[in-house]
Structure 1
């Protein structure tokens, strides 16, 4: 029998959206993913009036009180691996790092070693929050493998719960710097639609209808144009869907330069991108998490971090400047 980490009791005062039990609990427990909630329900860890509810689709009603037993996380068998980390800040509750491109955040099929989590386990020992589960200890949010920039990691469960709450409440602010092909129709704007799995390629995401995806909102500001060839932008995420910026701007006919999955559909883009690769200017999507703001989970102090652009993105900027000067 698993040890109990904590027990939550939640009363349903009002129902605003879905009447599904898993959806309601996911909104009420921001530190737990919907998949984790679903697993807890299926394993009999959720009850109403001492009656176990094992159907995630169970309809809830106002006035009901649900008890959720959250077991201790399983012991991780992930190997700690020493790796130099670019640490911007660290205390007993959290660590802010500047992730390089090419580093996978957490283990997954094909990447069980050499990930950020392996390095964090070596650096932090067993102090990382277990809420993320055996594969994602301490991980509150992620960056794609080939996206660089700032990440905050929880070192204990208190910090994990509070930081997750801030993400749900949109208190945490994230700004990304990116370089896209072409020019945009306006200097600033918002892309709002639904993102889900690409029905033709499960490894990719795509714009889908609302019944098959999750709401995704990206705000953008154009910083600079390289003639009609490319644009520098800042992106602000109101949601955090997988590949969100990459999918949004690819669907807008302005894919990120260097994006091997969603970019380079036009003939000119392919020609110039081949030149970029041959000259070894950049070998990944030109996207960097440049700014991260949040409240410290314990002190409530406003924390603000900004990361310089990495060399490969600056090399790309120089290349584009020379290209339009020809």
Structure 2
């Protein structure tokens, strides 16, 4: 391979923050993931002269050095599955969900029961409705995060590739902030607390269920605050996740003995209340706050779905008390923090031992 055969590309603004493998999928789809991985492994693929990995993220203005196409085994292009045009009812449903719209972003108030993305036996989902949300944009909007099927509330959609990369950075960097409302069974003893329990996929569930795993789980922290209580029967709580693990809020509330009302997956039969309270899950993404790609912030609040609003009314709760506060989470524990803690502990132990030796000497 001669240097004349090597191709060079400049990363454009719309690709700022995109993963390297996704850049290839977007611009050079004939180069498969395996080929890109081999190029990276053998040092043929470079960004600004440095070796890179397929999962590394690109920045606008960087220069990407790519081997010639002859180095790749070009696979036959797969026929693109044609999207079935949306019906008038689907278009109406999609557009009725919009609660915020600007040049870069859309925020939806997703109803419970509608999945964010498709999957096995899941044919109705937000991703399938995005054609109805292009409006005057140049491209189809893109999902940048998700809500569980039975969780309602604020769902952010990016309208451009640049916005999608920007928002992805915000979610991965935990600068995006979300506040949820939930009804839980019983009333926590501590009315404003932090749940810090690591989570992992529960074996034998095919990854469909999570559980607390102190030894091998990923760190997970959730703050909760009791807004109002209905005797000892139930509480209306505000939840703020400081990490983004699957089913995090649901697992954490069940783990402290107060499952979310209607969440039979983690609370079993104990998660369902009698007295006319809906059996649907009472977890709602009430507010989302995130930096805007063009400056400023997006800060949007989503109204409750009918079943949740009816339960609030049934229990006599005052909606004006739920002010959906955004708070900064606890700072992440760094390696330096752990090292300093270990050093302090070792110093304390040495001090105690010196004291013991002095005590033994005085008794002699």
- Counterpart mapping for 1:114-193 below 5 A: 114-124=124-134, 127-128=139-140, 138-193=142-197
Residue of structure 2 equivalent to 1:252: 256
Q: What is the aligned length?
A: 268
Matched, 1:295 2:291: yes
Flag the 1:182–1:49 CA change in 2: closer, same or farther, 3 A.
closer
Residue of structure 2 equivalent to 1:106: 117
Unaligned runs of at least 5 residues, structure 2: 1-6, 26-30, 59-65, 67-77, 318-364
Tell me if structure 1 keeps the 8 A contact 2:104–2:163: yes
Residue of structure 2 equivalent to 1:262: 266
| 2-structure distance, mates of 1:260, 1:161 | 36
Deviation at 1:89, TM superposition (A): 1.6
Deviation at 1:76, TM superposition (A): 5.6
| 1-structure distance, mates of 2:168, 2:299 | 17
1:176-222 deviation digits (Å, cap 9, x = unpaired): 000100111211111122222211323211112453x3222111111
Decide which of 279, 289, 299 is 1:283's aligned counterpart: 279
Deviation at 1:241, TM superposition (A): 1.4
Unaligned runs of at least 5 residues, structure 1: 9-28, 54-62, 130-137
| Structure with greater proportional strand content | 1
Deviation at 1:51, TM superposition (A): 2.9
Flag the 1:145–1:80 CA change in 2: closer, same or farther, 3 A.
farther
Residue of structure 2 equivalent to 1:216: 220
Matched, 1:94 2:98: no
| 2-structure distance, mates of 1:141, 1:153 | 8
Deviation at 1:257, TM superposition (A): 0.5
| 2-structure distance, mates of 1:197, 1:177 | 24
| Structure with greater proportional helix content | 2
SS of 2:310's equivalent in the other structure is: helix
Tell me if structure 2 keeps the 8 A contact 1:30–1:168: no
